Structure 1
Amino acid sequence: MNTEEAIQKRRTLKLRVNPDEPLPVTKGEEFNKTIERLIELAGQAPFHYQSAESHQKKKLTGAEPWRFHVLDGESCRQLLKSLKKEEPMKASDGIKQMLAAADALILATWLPERSRSLSRKFHPNVKNMEHIAATGAAIQNLLLAATAKGVINYWSSGGCLRKPKVLEFLGIPRQEILLGAVFLFPDEYPDSVQTKPGKNAEARGNLTDYMEWVEL
């Protein structure tokens, strides 16, 4: 599949399973290697500014303004159990249903510059806008690479996964900000599994709805 085909075929699709009856985890080391390759391709996204030096002193030391934290299928089921029983980490039904179906969950965070204000997690300046844009580009790379390999994927804003308690539980530094929770789903599943496409699929317009030539 070439790049243009991957872009055309990429679709948002959620798999939703009863949280009390999660799908069995069937993918192992080979799929983990696939995920590592997907993230390696995601990391080819452009970025304008390097992450702040304070971020590069953490466990993950990259100059990139993004980080990826990966849960395999077994860890998704363990997180599901914790979300069901820990009140401070209470989750929506949608997140729990997807965790019950996912082969993996990739949490993509971006690294803000230190804020001048203690009341803000980040300052809305150009550098931080660049960091967000770069991380969004990395996530799109990930989605296209997954599509090209036939892996069903869904980019969620994260819902309850954005909660400080959940991020702390997962060992994600509190300075990082979640931009996307990318669920990877199995390509074979029982007929009883509910599927739901992205809500804006039918709202997508024609080229002339969002593009114009500027004539000077």
Structure 2
Amino acid sequence: MVLLLVFEDKNVKCLCYVSSRKTLFVLLRAKGTASSQDKWLLVNLQSTKEFSSHMLNRDTWANEAVSQTISTNFVFWQVYDDTTEGQKVYTYYKLDSIPVVLVIDPITGQKMRSWVGMVQPERLLEDLLTFMDSGPKDHHVTLSHKQPRESSIPVVLGIDRERVERMEARLKEDILREAERYGGAIMVIHETNDGQIFDQLPVFQCLCCCG
């Protein structure tokens, strides 16, 4: 049982096979590596019981064009379903079939694209072109520009004119009712600019004249 990894260290790029039970290159580390290099994470979940998994290794991953494209533009992680990390991938992304190839956003962990079963080299290369145009960081910058800013969303505050008019009419009725109760006199409080408060009496006749 093997795990195919892409190790990249400045001037060194290589594809190599190591034991899947001894490797420390788990999904978290793979995401971190892809994020730091601004590359998409390509994950292949395999099964030794599925012949299509063997076909992927023989025909697709061994293809020179595929190998070169992946090593240049992606961080690639292949894991088997009978390992702890393989089970985590299977459960987290709610997969129901193996083998499967996933393109993962290393920043958010979101699944961006998936292929189930055997994927021919030509089809895979064609489908991966979309992710070769820009990296995850540019993708998120584009998304942020498409989202409306809070300042651009009109905010309507207050109440409508009809409700204001009803409130004014009700207030006037209350004032006139108080005036009738106290013989034409109501208490009006007046506050000057310097904070002094004066009582003014009466205003009932003025209200009646002004309508």
Q: TM-score range by the shorter chain?
A: under 0.3
Q: TM-score, normalised by structure 1?
A: 0.23
Q: TM-score, normalised by structure 2?
A: 0.23
Larger Rg computed on CA atoms: 2
